[in-house]
Structure 1
Amino acid sequence: MKRNKIYTIGLLALATLTATSCSDGFLEVTSPSDFPIEEYYTSKEKINEALVAAYAPLHWFDYGTTSNYNALNLSSDIMSDDMYPNGGNDADCPYLQLAFNFSATPLTDINGIWLDCYSGVKRSNDVIKYLDWATEMSDADKNVILSQTRVLRAYYYNLLWKYYGNIPFFFENLEAPYTAPQLKADEVYANVIADLEDVIERGALKDEWDDTNIGRVTKPMAYMLFTEMVMYQNDQTRYAKALGYMQNIIGSGKFGLLDNYADIWTEAGEWSKESIFEINYYSVNGGRAWDNGLGAGGTVNVRLCGPRGFIAKAGDPYEGVVEAGWGFGYIPPKSIRSFEDGDVRKDVTGFDIWEHGDAEKMQDAGWMFRERTPGSYYSNGKYLPMAGGNAGCTGAGDMNFNNNFRVYRYSETLLYAAELLLKTGGSASQAADYVNQVRNRAGLASLSSVDQDDILNERRHEFMGEGKRYWDLVRTGNAATVLKAANDELNFRTKDWDVHNKYLPIPQDNIEADPNLEQNPGY
């Protein structure tokens, strides 16, 4: 049974979300009562309501404000070499198909992340504003909430920065005409990383929360976010600090690797010793529905990315265990073959539809739109629609699976620490030890020494299907070499990655709403 976790609790009336980051409706605030909001947000209880509302957009990436499927692992991994969009046909969810082929347009792009993140930024700014009115709170309680809120805001801006680059930026919510200066990507980074750095150094972040509040921001989560941003920016001036943060996590003794890699992806494996941050979902009383995608409850991502039309073979271990999905987010066969012999992560990552499924029955049902080649269809085994995974929901069954989304795991701490040791001239043997801890858990022999390529290879196989690969290729300068159409053995990708593809196009409605916004180059 899942523990109680912070989640949205029907607080959408706290702020309207009817438009974009630069238009009137998005930034309007609706009073939660008949008296001014400055008279409402005076207590810790009321401020916490606003804080929970600021957490809420974390849960919307799978299906949120735009009714598009923008789960963070799916929307980035399809731009790597380790995931196909697939679906019902080549036009199913065209924004995913086009992003995969580096052909996104301002009218057809992954725009849900834009709106969900700006919803989070706006709500975070609200909390910071409301704290000035909280006369019935101690300074200590204010600092704890303020620190969470600033890290949340940094997390939302981190995604906007990585996906879109040159974006409207504001730390205080806007007044008419509701437009913000558009900063270059480097300027966005400079502002966000400095703010995040300040939050961490102030020392108000908690190391951990009790079970009732699990899912709130912690100091280790902020360490991971800081390091992710520093590594993506290749910010050498902050490598030493990032390494110190990683070693703080390692040295705390509060985290570790689970013995069995497969256990990470079970319900029992949620918030285990390996977890640093997860986005919580639950099925029991989950009320999300097709007309209430922003409601509290479970996730639709596992149904979306489960094996399309799956029917298990009689007697197969997955008979009655894995349900059918809609066939998005498949892992290419070439990626599965890239695992070393004996790597236990291979079978966990790639759920072999042909091995476990009844091919004849699935073919009769028209289960897949592309050529049915044995050995070529692997669902993302980390996020499968399990029988009973949506039990007890009150909304739509497809939208209320209880699979938490794993954002940061301890294995990533180890691999970041190893990479940073090499970058800062630290202990090469310690770097190898960190990598070997991850390899040994995977059933692989230790390496006597490691270089950055070894670490990146380990990251690829440790996190395949988790939304890390594309960013690694971009930050290391390998995207143009790896992401070529000729490297796709099934010939689904027809265009090569180009430098302008580092950023997606800014959604067209935002360009139209603010004449001062400039579209990203190449679009």
Structure 2
Amino acid sequence: MKRKFLIILAIFGMWACEDDLIQAPISSSSSLNFYQDADDFEQAVNATYNALDGYAVRHFMLSDIRSDLIYSPGTGVRDWNPVNNFENTLSTNVLMSEAWDANFNGILRANTVLDKIDESLVPDADVRNRLIGEAKFLRALFYFDLVRWFGKVPLLDHVVTPTEALEIPRSAVADVYELIEADLTDAISDLPESYSVQGRATSLAAKALLAKVYLTKSGPSYGIEGPGLDANMYSEALTLLNDVINSGQFSWVNDYASIFSYDNEGNSDIVFDEQNINDLSTGDRGIGTILPTSMYDEAYGRTVTPFAGGVPGDSPIRPSESFLATFDEADVRDDFAILPFYIDDNNNQVNNPQFVKFLDLNKLPADRFNWGINFPIIRYTDVLMMKAEALLQSGGSQTDVDAIVNMVRERAGLDAVSNVDLDMLLEERAKEFMAEGLRWHDLVRTGKVLEVMNAWEVEDDASEKIDGVNAYEIIYAIPLDQLDVKEGLYEQNEGY
């Protein structure tokens, strides 16, 4: 069973078109008359999950393309080129406004559920608590993304009117973290460890997410108002990660490629994912993901798919030369996830490496927007490697760190290593989680982002479009349309 349901009420669909930070319900019909019983709140929570639509592409564009994994300077004007090139004009970039709007859209949906639900409408305490826990988990996830992308953001823990929203400034990152941590702590208490169906948030997913929040919060501040607060919460993260590991709900998957198989969704490596459907009987209806199309060349797509689409030739999205050079010949991960070349429709070999990690040509959708592969947001492998990170950052067991990294390397077909340090761990994470939207966040929270990115810029920026990477570029520009809503309500982030 998929979480992206085919029937979504119009009152929730309308929210997806909201561009501004307006936390008022759409109409009196949606806010006053809709919520009558538990089934109505179930649909409302499902609509909140559906606000994750686009999560996969968003993190690929804003994390992986921002990082040293990808070099895409472009010769044209594509939305991702200024992100790759660290340009200071990003306030008008559609990727900024999409990230802002999508996350606040999800927060609005979660807030509406939390404001409306009560004992009289959902008398079953277990059902009510579970619905509240799911809404809080999702609200925490949306706010965590906002903090990582933008730093300070408006703090909204309930639905407000448009007039009230115009008086709410951006809150300090520490205050936003307070809500995130409270929501996830409640979700841990309110949610079950597992379900009989795939795709819903569990208490273990909440623990894994809270552990990542603690690791991120523990990262350096870099002298900016970004996601790192030097909080030193590694021991708290370790406790949560060990709870997930010891729960027995997840297990090691021996074959790397099978983790991402369309026929093996919900496997034991998946802690929480974005659900996507390829339902040809319904014409797809926009319930899949465009992620694979956002990775492969348009010229390649013409030879293997019946529909148009792909990355335009003026701005190909390709793995960087330095990243490709990190792979050992025996490593199975790049063999599976990166296509080194292809034959175009003129029968020419094109030596343009591209990510195909989520592409299965035997599972073609009706169009390029609706690939039916789920996108992992939290994997069990990530939980294990976050434990290794927390141990390294807190002076924990080197033996345990080496054992975790060598499990990952053994699955990849590589020899064991010893005395793993933070740089070695990050390199292994880069290869393990390539194209999963984690790389930029990994570099930021571990304090390595400026060192790694500036060294990479010297080595890989053949087009000379990147003029160094500065601390202020760790977070993105506030979208200009938000600054224009009310003059002086928000200040632009430094450097933009």
| Structure 1 segment 225-264 matched on structure 2, within 5 A | 225-234=209-218, 236-264=231-259
2:64 paired with 1:77: yes
Q: Partner of 1:47 in structure 2?
A: 41
- Cα deviation for residue 127 of structure 1 reads 0.4
2:481 paired residue number: 509
How many residues align structurally?
474
1:452 Cα offset (Å): 1.8
Asked if 2 retains the 8 angstrom alpha-carbon contact of 1:321 and 1:387, the reply is no
TM-score of the pair, normalised by structure 1: 0.83
SS at match of 1:267: coil
- Over 3 Å counting, the alpha-carbon distance change for 1:45 and 1:312 in structure 2 is closer
- State whether structure 2 residue 317 is matched by structure 1 residue 336: no
User: Aligned ranges for residues 16-27 of structure 1 at < 5 Å?
Assistant: 16-23=15-22, 27=24
- From 22, 26, 35, give the equivalent of 1:29: 26
**Which residue among 311, 325, 328 is the counterpart of 2:310?**
325
Check the 8 A contact 2:51/2:102 in 1, yes or no. yes
Q: Distance in 2 between matches of 1:152 and 1:247?
A: 22
String of CA shifts for 1:186-207, please: whole Å, max 9, x gaps: 332233223323432xx22111
Q: CA-to-partner distance for each residue in 1:15-59, whole Å, 9 max, x for gaps? A: 544444434xx63322457xxx44531311011111111111101
Task: Map Cα deviations across residues 269-319 of structure 1 (whole Å, 9 max, x no partner).
Answer: 321111111111111158688xxxxx6521122122223311799xxxxx7
1:49–1:181 CA distance, 2 compared to 1 (3 A): same
Which secondary structure does the structure 2 equivalent of 1:80 belong to?
A: coil
Q: Identify which range, 96-105 or 304-313, moves more after superposition.
A: 304-313
Aligned pair partner of 1:105 in 90, 101, 112: 90
- C-alpha distance in 1, partners of 2:171/2:281? 39
DSSP-derived class of the 1:277 partner = strand
Q: Does 1:307 align with 2:307?
A: no
- 1:128 paired with 2:114, answer yes
Distance 1:85 1:32, change over 3 A: farther
Runs of 5+ unmatched residues, structure 1: 63-69, 290-294, 314-318, 364-371
SS class of match (1:5): coil
| 1:222–1:8 distance in 2 versus 1, CA, 3 Å | farther
* Greater alpha carbon shift after TM alignment, 218-227 vs 150-159: 218-227
Q: Which amino acid aligns with 2:44?
A: A
Deviation at 1:170, TM superposition (A): 0.8
> Which of these residues, 349, 353, 361, is aligned with residue 378 of structure 1?
353
Find the counterpart in structure 2 of residue 218 from structure 1. Answer: 202
**Structure 2 residue 78 is matched with structure 1 residue 90:** no
- Aligned equivalent of 1:119: 105
Between 1:243-252 and 1:4-13, the stretch displaced more is 4-13
**TM-score scaled by length of structure 2:** 0.88
1:65 maps to none
1:423 Cα deviation (Å)? Answer: 2.7
Query: Structure 2 vs 1, CA of residues 449 and 322 (structure 1 numbering), >3 Å: closer, same or farther?
Result: farther
- In 1: Cα distance, 2:492 partner to 2:269 partner: 40
CA distance in 2, matches of 1:237, 1:473: 17
From 388, 393, 399, give the equivalent of 2:369: 399
Match of 2:192 in 1: 206
Distance 1:312 1:399 in 2: 15
Q: Residue by residue, what CA displacement relative to the aligned partner does 1:446-495 show, whole Å, maximum 9, x if unpaired?
A: 22332222211211111112111111222222222222332215436422
Q: Quick one: distance in 2 between partners of 1:411 and 1:172?
A: 35
Q: Which runs of 5+ in 2 are unaligned?
A: 219-229
RMSD: 2.7
Q: Find 2:146's aligned residue among 156, 160, 163.
A: 160
> CA contact under 8 A between 2:322 and 2:459: conserved in structure 1?
no
Instruction: Work out the percentage of aligned pairs sharing the same amino acid.
Output: 25
- Matched AA of 1:229: V
Partner secondary structure for residue 491 of structure 1: coil
Render the CA deviation track for 1:404-429: whole Å, top value 9, x for unaligned. 11111111111111121233333221
Letter paired with 2:292: V
Give secondary structure in 1 for the equivalent of 2:347. helix
Aligned to 2:222: none
> Counterpart in 2 of 1:58?
52
State the shift of 1:210 in Å. 1.3
Q: CA deviation at 1:115?
A: 0.3
The one-letter amino acid of 1:517's match is Y
Amino acid at match of 1:192: I
Which residue does 1:451 correspond to in 2? 421
Q: Cα gap change, 1:448/1:502 in structure 2, threshold over 3 Å: closer, same or farther?
A: closer
